């Protein structure tokens, strides 16, 4: 039954039980190959397991099934950024942001893509939005600070770098 495999796979994914999630979600995709959300979760699991090419296949299939799929645009775009294919990724991620400008992953991935191709003025607003959406994500805040520094906004960049240090220190102290 598709629903049983899909919902079990999602729970396993959220519990970081990737091996079992891969099995459950693979079965759900087999039972309903047109189901975009199931393919997205399977792609996410594969990516978490380091199986980038298999994840790429899932995300690419989502975009083939529906070129306007938010799941496909974000999944494929973010993976392409990780693979250094930033020019391919930016179009997908821009389309995703048009559909949902409040999505952290889309803002974060597009901001990283712009940073990699040194489009700092384009990176600043999407990284700013990513930081607004998830203020404790030090990786996003650090990239935002770098963009500000590259744009000559030294005072604002310093505040962001200081906040990254503070958040990292609080995290380390909380783990001790």
Cβ-Cβ contacts under 8 Å for 91 (sequence gap 6 or more): none
Q: Is the pLDDT of residue 175 over 80?
A: no
pTM of the model as a whole: 0.79
Would you state the pLDDT for residue 173? 83
Q: How far apart are the first and last CA of the chain?
A: 45
CB 59 within 8 A of CB 79: yes
CA-wise closest residue to 58 among 95, 145, 48: 48
Q: What is the pLDDT of residues 61-83, one digit of tens each?
A: 999 999 888 889 999 999 998 89
Q: What is the pLDDT of residues 86-128, one digit of tens each?
A: 888 998 999 899 988 999 989 999 999 999 999 999 999 999 9
| pLDDT tens, position by position, 140-166 | 999 999 999 999 999 999 999 999 999
């Amino acid at each position: 039954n598709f629903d049983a495999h899909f919902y079990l796979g999602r729970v396993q994914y959220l519990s970081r039980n990737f091996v079992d999630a891969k099995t459950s979600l693979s079965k759900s995709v087999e039972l309903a190959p047109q189901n975009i959300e199931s393919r997205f979760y399977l792609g996410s699991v594969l990516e978490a397991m380091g199986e980038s090419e298999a994840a790429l296949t899932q995300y690419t299939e989502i975009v083939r099934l529906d070129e306007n799929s938010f799941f496909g645009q974000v999944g494929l775009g973010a993976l392409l950024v990780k693979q250094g294919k930033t020019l391919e990724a930016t179009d997908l991620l821009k389309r995703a942001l048009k559909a949902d400008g409040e999505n952290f992953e889309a803002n974060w991935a597009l901001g990283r893509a712009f940073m990699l191709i040194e489009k700092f003025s384009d990176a600043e607003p999407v990284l700013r939005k990513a930081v607004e959406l998830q203020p404790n994500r030090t990786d996003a805040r650090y990239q935002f600070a770098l963009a500000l520094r590259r744009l000559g906004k030294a005072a604002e960049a310093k505040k962001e770098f200081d906040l990254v240090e503070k958040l990292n220190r609080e995290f380390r102290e909380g783990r001790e």
